[in-house]
Amino acid sequence: KKEKLLICPCHKSKFTIMGKMISGPAERDLPGFKAEKITGDGKGYVVTLFS
C-alpha cells in the first residue's frame, strides 16, 4: 500500500495527509483549518482560515 504524503517543495519536510509531521526540517505539525464541502454540485470546499 502506497502512503499518501504532503511534501514541502521548498524544504522537503514530509507530513501525513492529516498534517502530522513525519520528517523535518519542519519542527511541528501543519496547522488545521475548518473545511466544509460546498453543497449543490459538491465540486469544492470552503476553507476558513480565520474566524
Residue 30: strand, helix, or coil: coil
* CA distances to 20, 25, 41, 42, 50 from 28, in Å: 8, 9, 36, 32, 20
| pLDDT score of 21 more than 70 | yes
For residues 17-38, average pLDDT? 90
The pLDDT, as a whole number, for residue 28 is: 95
Mean per-residue pLDDT over the chain, rounded: 87
Spell out the domain ranges in the chain: 5-48
pLDDT band at 22 (very low <50, low <70, confident <90, very high): very high
